[in-house]
Structures are given as C-alpha cells and as structure tokens.
Structure 1
C-alpha cells in the first residue's frame, strides 16, 4: 500500500503537507488548555495575562477560549508582530515591529513593565512567551535609547551570530529581559508558558528570557561582540563594560515564585511532519531539532547526505525524508533579498546539481524568513535547469544573498501568511526510490 501512495503523491504536495503539519502541531489552540491554572485556586480570583512574541496573540486567544472560569477574571496585555493580532475579549493585543524594533514596541514594553510593577502578593500572572519577543519588547536600560537597541539588533542580524549569542547581548541591554520582567512581578506568582523557537529549547534564549534567570554575564556579551566584530555605540559599550547591564540570576529570591512550562517545541513539530511522511510511505529520519551553523554550509552538508542516500542507499535506503530543525545563520555580504532558510535551500540545490528523485522544502514556521513575508521555498531536480533558462546564475544569486529573489522568480516560494506560531526552521529533503 505504501508503494502505491509514494508513486501517486507528488513530492511537492507531500513536502507542503509535512510543513503544514509541523505548523499545526505548534498552534496554541492545541497546546495551551492543559497548562492553565485552576480558577478556583487564584487567591483573589484574578489572572493577569502578559507576554510577547509572534505567537503571543494566538496564545492569549487560546487562553480565553479554554479558560474554565468566568472571563471577567482575565485581563492583561500582550505584544505581537504586525499582522499577527487576533481578536481577544479581555486581553489587550498590541502590535509592534520585528525583527528590528520600533517605537510601538518600546511603548508596549513600558506599559508591560508598569503593569508588572503594580502587582501584589495576591496576584497570579500568566506570561505567554514565544519567539520574536526580543524585538517586540525593546525597552532599553537607563542611559540607552531605542536607536541604540536598533543599531545593535541590525549589527547582530548581519554578523552571523547564533540566536543564543544574539540573546546574550540583548539580555544585557534590556530593562525587561534577562529575568527582569519576572523580578518586576514580584511578589506575585508567575507561570510562564513558552513556545520554543531556539535550538536546545533553553528558556533564557526564548525572547531573551524575560521571566527566567540568566547565567550569562556582561563579559560574555562583550566577548560575543568582539568575536563577531560588531562596532557598538559608545553608550552601549559603557553599559556592558561597567556591569550596569547585569541580568537577574537564577538564584535571585524574586524568582522564587516563578514556574516555567514548555508547551510547543521544534522537536514536536518534526515529529508531526514525520507522521505525515510515514503515512505516505516514506521513512522519516529526524536528523536533529537544534542544527545551527552558516546556512549555506548546512545546505551543502544536507545535500551531501541526500546524494549518498540517492546514489549509494547509505546510510539509509530511499524512499525516505530527512527532517531537521534549529536555526542557521547568515553572514550578509551581498545586497539581495535573503533569509536563512532560502539561503540554506539555494546552497543545497547547487550542491545537489539536479540529482534525480531529490526534492526539498525549507521554511520558517512563523511564515517569515528574514525580512520577507515568505516562509521559504521548494526545490526539485529541475530547479537549476529552470533557473539557467531564465538567465539566473545560482552561484551569483547565493553570493548576493538573494534566495528570496531567486525562488520568487522561479515561482517556487512558499507563502503561508502569518502562522500565529513559531517553532523555528523546518527542513525536509525527500528522496524518492530510484
């Protein structure tokens, strides 16, 4: 039966079904109800909902829909990316910019921190955090400005730094991240629900950890800046060198009443995609949910593995699907329209060199790869041939970091619109039976 399915289901259709399944598995509506506190256990009968991230509005809506008590018990404020708001009855939704922060995010972060500081020992806080929160809560430490934060953010994005390295720097320039939001909520109780978009699912790295203690230091942040060759504004350098940017540590007594739960992760998304592949007659092989590195290098490595399978049936036999997640990085050298997933995919296509029977999809589960409102793209054995027929030179496009321009010209872009969740990159390479 499986053989019949694989012979009749087009590779691109299957790849898109796997991507959609990965996204669907990480929807707040699916995961949040089991983690809500008991309304009867709230000391004053009130739950204050705060949060930030690309999925935070959908999370807030899911809280309202699943809340077993009276909706009048709920209230609060969450910040999400422009275009990602969904209607809520009791929880206010504010939109701001991502990945480079703006004034709307600054004002929202100020309001969020003020709300946290107004809470007392009888209050219970539900904090909804997902990827993107770092840019959506750009409240700088005293002495810094939003312009300083924007400059650092742009430099980090173009430097090739990993997401973990970026967040170490961000945590030490923020008045709200690195555990500071939780500290501001003290003495209220805080339950944080996380949707992970980072390799390793470390809570301190998701939105730069506003409600969890941070073991990294200002010196760690400076070391990353030096290693990545980032030219800091003098005001920013002074904050790090003086130690004024030190974050809240895990043993801080203000965090004693805090609990953190992970409700959706990249691994869960990969397992959902694997089930679709298996049902369609392909053996799913999850290579890892935390793969990092320069995007074009990761693309070449994945292509090498796919070629060995297609040509030698080693280390696996086709038909199979190679699945992976994580977050690659791009060191920007060109002037094209790029993103880490399309850069990885273009590099993969070049290395595959038209290998028959190999197709792939790579995309960001939030629907936005880089600065483009495009999730990612698809490739197949004919990708390079079609590119050359249009006068597109794949190596030149890669050198110019123009992955989006390349795949858009071929009609191979994957556009989902706002997915209202974010569990990082999704990569699937399908190898058909020869």
Structure 2
C-alpha cells in the first residue's frame, strides 16, 4: 500500500475516533483533518480550497436563509395548526403525517438536502406546539429524506431506467431494465426506513429541550407578523426556489442548482423578508464548516488512491468464479460502510463500473445488484461525513455523533439484512 494512502487512512481513523469521543466540536475536528491532509500532501491546496466553493456548501448556506425566510412568515404556523388538528394533538400521529409528507416530497425533489430543508421548519414548529424537543423528530425526517429520495417511478425516478439501460449498453450488457424494476428493488429500504422513522426513532431520540436560547425565544415572541407584501414574498421565494430546482434540467446550463438557491437567499434579504441580522442568524455556520471539512476528507480518500485500493481489494476477494451471495453481501457491505465516510454519489459512481464490468463478464442481469448498490450507498446517515443533509440535521436537532449511532444503527442493520435477502432471493445476479 502506498505511503500516501497509509497516511490518509491513519488521519481518517483518528478523525473518526475524535468524532466518536465528542470532546471537540465536530466542525473543528473536520477542518483540522483538512489542514492535516494538506500539510501531509494527501490533498492539494487547490482541492482543499475548492471545498469552500463546492456547490453543496452554497446550497446549504442559501437554503438556511431561504428556509429562515419561510419561518418568518405565518405559513409554517398555519401548516402546524392544520397538522395539529388532523393529529388531534398527538405527537406520534403528527410524526406519522409528517413522515408521509416527507416521503411524498422525496419522490419529486432531487436531493436529500432540499427535501430536509423543505420539511424541517414545519416539523420544528409542530414540535414547538406539542411541547416536544425538535431532537425527537429531526432524525426521522432526514432518514426518509436520504433513504427514499426518487425511489418511486415519479419525477426523475420515472426516467432513471432509461439512463440505466443506456449505461448498460456501453458495457455490452444486453439485459433491459423496466420502469418499475428500481422501485421493486428499493422496497425493503422504502418500507423499513418509513416505519423506523414513524415508530422507532422518535422513541430512542434524545430530548435536548427547546434547542433555542432564552434570547431567541424572546425574539420569536416579540416578532411582529410581516406586512402582506413580505409575507407573500416569503412564501413565493421558497416555492419558486423549490419549483426551479425540480425543473432545473429544463433551465439553461448557466443557471445551476446552487445559483437558484443563492438567488433565493439574496431575494429573501432584498425584499425584507429577513433583515441582514436575521439572515446572518439563519446562516448557521457550524454545519457548513463541518461539511466543508468532511468533503475534504472524502476528497483526500479518493486522491490518495484509497478508492482504487478498495476496488482492487474487492476484485481480489471475489476471484474468477464468485458466489452470487458473496457478491451481493460484499457490495452491500462495502457500499453501506464506505458511504458513511464519503459522498454517496461519488462512491456509487466509483463502484458502478466494477458492478457492471462483473455483470458483463459473467453474463449476469445487473438489475438487482446495481439498484441494491444505489441503496447501499444511500443508507448514509450514521456520520456527518455521509451526506450534506446530516450536518444540517445535527444542527437543527442538536445531535452529537453518539446520537446518530443510537438512532440509526438498528435501522441501518435491519435495512442491510433485508436488502441482502431481498436481492438474493428476488433479484439475484444471474
């Protein structure tokens, strides 16, 4: 193993230990890891600097402000009152309702961070009205946001099979995937993640109280309703941003997703929905720095050759005539474990060629294996390194690393076993 890879993995393990110890702020740990990677040559200075301008960083910061603008309006309270009425004042029934709403939004919104940004202000206000801590609910919402995004043949999920078939052709694979095939492979993850979010996670989640300071609570009580124009703009900007993201593929290439969110944040301030001071309060920096550092850690793992080392290790383990059960278990375990520490899309993109090459070599139908790998890499919520939605969830839920493991480990293990058995019996590579 090259020395650079050894250094990178050593720093990575130390970073994880510090995450678990909870002795230092998580953003400090991740940013320190970035600095060490640069100093040791595992990460080029230019690559480290690019993490600050990463599109996800801009999206996160911008959506903080846009969501803050929505929070400033009366819409959140109106939705909360409606949910409170439908649930009869029951927190559990309200959580079931919001979990189903999140599942529906996840089928049309293209990313977990967007889904969670839409839902968490509504859920936080519902918690306030029920005298419950937001920490009891936020993990449930992010769990569904990550695990079920575009899982049903609705929106972009309705055309994913076309992309898959086109990709398979480039590898010489003659099998064809149908529109409903991905959804059928995803069923264990969809069902289990929603059930755990509804009934298990709220019970084991910590209770950190209000999560608001006395000053913030006083400011919330003293805030006067916005005038009709700013109230309308608070709604309109948020809805416009969401719709623009949903149809971003139809927009000119000069208007990427991060620009949509950025424009929404600027308009929120320019129209007076949020004052400059309120916007800065909404722009919560710790999760942003946590993600920047986490992004650098993932980039260093790739740049140091750890990704290549992983792919070669998989091929050497499988050998020339691998057992189909071994293949299924191995790819799920590798995808599930590694996705906790690096970008899920980056990992999926890195492992997909290995899966397709193997299927082409052995004449296997990749429907089960390929879609299972996608879900393995999107069962990513046990560490702040996994996906950008987790640092945001940790901020609004007040979570520590140990809380993520406490709430998420049993659902993750259950989902893992269910997927392996489901694919092995129903969609085996053959």
TM class by smaller structure: under 0.3
Normalised TM-score (structure 1): 0.26
Give the number of the structure whose residues are more often strand, by fraction.
Answer: 1
Normalised TM-score (structure 2): 0.26
Give the number of the structure whose residues are more often helix, by fraction.
Answer: 2
